[in-house]
A and B are shown apart, each in its own frame.
Chain A
């Protein structure tokens, strides 16, 4: 019960800090800020637990519980931060009358939301890629997070090209 309650309290505290910061001022690098909130929260909690002589195995259990729930929230948050084309399209069609939406309406709707360009701009802003003589190149070292995601996906098989 201690593991469960400690994790719930720690996770709730991190979410509360996240909401307060976001309501005050939206961070420029949202995902990184969110990760830092969870990291500092957990480090602080671990330091207090060690000082109070909590068993290391119990702290390890809380770590696994806290990070699995925290990562789940961060993954869900990525869908809050950026628009999902699928959900946006569903909502657009869902907001129509019983007759639905025509192909022309959908095309016009897409024209107002340049998802691909927005992702390219986001890549540039995060300094992952740079533009050079009409070409996009990787800037600096390849991102570890991206390499991990793609490496894990490749274990399942080849990744199809295109959008």
Chain B
């Protein structure tokens, strides 16, 4: 068996485990299912690597292949599949498109705007952030709870400034 199959088999195990875990909980605890799927895939990857090593020996090339090639491929594919599912869950553009495509005569613009209005969108995000502890609410005032999203935001907004020359799509380019 070629080592190339290791990350591919691992990602298949990852996705199947995720789907089984998510469906068995009737569509709740999405992120937990993602973590469980990732762990199942990683275990599958380790088992295949050991089988591969037993037949080919634990050489320097073998360790280079495991840590510099197969492990990054598995991590990157896991990141891709996670985001691929997330797009269908949270991307406004894709979800609006899915509703428009599902209606044979199209969808009424006002109806779509009622369903996807900016305030409702922000309320939903605010609720999620409050539930996860990323934002803390007190007497109508909202403060930062956990700082993990601030770190991600700092990196992404830095990249925006560098590549696009602005921090937001609502700002004109500098």
Determine if chain A interacts with chain B: yes
Q: Name A's B-contacting residues (CB within 8 A).
A: 1, 3-4, 7, 19, 22-23, 26, 57, 60-61, 64-65, 68-69, 71-72, 75, 79-91, 93-94, 96, 98-103, 106-107, 110-120, 122-123, 128-129, 131-132, 134-138, 142-143, 146, 149-150, 152-159, 161-163
Chain B residues with Cβ below 8 Å from A102 are 140-142
The docked-state distance in angstroms from the alpha carbon of A142 to that of B101 is 7
B9 within 8 A of A: no
Chain B residues with Cβ below 8 Å from A163 are 92, 95, 115-117, 120-121, 124
Chain A residues with Cβ below 8 Å from B141 are 99-102
Closest to B99 in A: A161
B157-172 contacts to A, CB under 8 A, are: 157, 159-160, 163-165, 168-170
B23 within 8 A of A: yes
Chain A residues with Cβ below 8 Å from B77 are 68
For the complex of A and B, 4 pairs with smallest distance between CB atoms: A153-B88, A137-B106, A100-B143, A163-B121
Do A90 and B135 have beta carbons less than 8 Å apart?
yes
Chain A residues with Cβ below 8 Å from B142 are 93, 100-103, 106
Do B76 and A135 have beta carbons less than 8 Å apart?
no
A selection of 8 A-B contacts at a CB cut-off of 8 Å is A65-B73, A90-B129, A90-B134, A115-B118, A129-B97, A132-B106, A135-B107, A156-B23
The docked-state distance in angstroms from the alpha carbon of A79 to that of B68 is 27
Known: A85-B122, A163-B120. 13 other contacts (CB 8 A): A4-B69, A89-B126, A91-B153, A93-B142, A94-B150, A100-B142, A103-B142, A114-B170, A122-B93, A136-B112, A138-B97, A155-B19, A162-B120
Chain A residues with Cβ below 8 Å from B135 are 90, 93
The docked-state distance in angstroms from the alpha carbon of A134 to that of B122 is 26
Chain B residues with Cβ below 8 Å from A137 are 100, 105-106
**A106-B122, A116-B117, A137-B100 known; A1 and B61 CB under 8 Å?**
yes
Chain B residues with Cβ below 8 Å from A106 are 122, 126, 142
Do A153 and B76 have beta carbons less than 8 Å apart?
no
Main secondary structure of the interface of A (DSSP, over half): helix
Do B98 and A150 have beta carbons less than 8 Å apart?
yes
Do B168 and A87 have beta carbons less than 8 Å apart?
no
Chain A residues with Cβ below 8 Å from B91 are 149
Chain B residues with Cβ below 8 Å from A112 are 170
Q: How far is the CB of A138 from chain B (nearest CB, A)?
A: 5
